[in-house]
Structures are given as C-alpha cells and as structure tokens.
Amino acid sequence: MADKKVEARLRRHRRARKKIRGTGARPRLSVFRSLRHIYAQIIDDDQGKTLVAASSLSGGTKVAASGNADAAKVVGERIAALAKAAQIQTVVFDRGGYLYHGNVKVLAEAARAGGLVF
C-alpha cells in the first residue's frame, strides 16, 4: 500500500515538474515531507544548485516534535529568513506532489509571512 502511495506522489511530482522550473531570477522552493521531518530547499535549476535549505533537523530550526505543523511553521520562517539573507524575494512553489494542505500549507504560509513572494 505504501509503495503505491509513494509512486503516485512521485508521478504527480514529475507531472508538475514539467511546468515548474526555477531560474536564477526566480528559483524553485521545493518541499519534502517525511513522517518525522519536513524539508525545504530553494533551488536554481539552471545551475543545478541548492541556494538555501532548511529542515526540522537543521541547527537553527530544531523543534521538539518535528513532524507537526509547528515544525513546518518554523521551517517556513527559517527558509524565508535564509532567502532574505541570500537576497531572494520571489520563488516558484513546488509542493513535491503533496496536496497543498496540512504541513505543506503551513510551511508555505509561514514562508509568505516571512517575506517570500509566490
């Protein structure tokens, strides 16, 4: 059962990635969530480089319970702060095949509140 869910998510992600592409002027904010943690990266697909990254595991964002909405909010705020420090204002949001719901939505709203535009 779990393999089918993962395969379906990856199919959705590949389908969306045909249209979503991060450039130097407007990089891609990619979200990955596991059962225990949530990760966010800002990626320049033209160069193939990760510009900034934050997760519920990284030092500045370490949270007690890291698989919940509180952790997603902290990661969203952290990625926005790192993006601001790297002088990135606008991004393209890549939800990674997940529904725009729950932790993914909380992370996106926190990133918007932190100053990212998407």
- Kindly report, residue by residue over 45-72, the tens digit of the pLDDT: 999 999 999 999 887 666 666 779 999 9
Mean pLDDT in residue range 16-27: 93
Which one is predicted more confidently, 28 or 24?
28
Q: Is 10 helix (H, G, I), strand (E, B) or coil?
A: helix
- Number of Cβ within 10 Å of residue 100's Cβ equals 10
Nearest to 88 by CA among 37, 38, 39, 54: 54
Q: What is the pLDDT of residues 67-112, one digit of tens each?
A: 799 999 999 999 999 999 999 999 999 999 999 999 999 999 999 9
CATH topology of domain 2-113: Nucleotidyltransferase; domain 5 (3.30.420)
**What pLDDT is stored for residue 86 in this prediction?**
97
Question: Strand order of the sheet with strand 92-94?
Answer: 49-55, 38-44, 28-33, 92-94
- Residue 2, pLDDT > 90, answer no
State phi, psi for 55 to the nearest 5 degrees. -150, 170
Cβ 83 vs Cβ 42: under 8 Å: yes
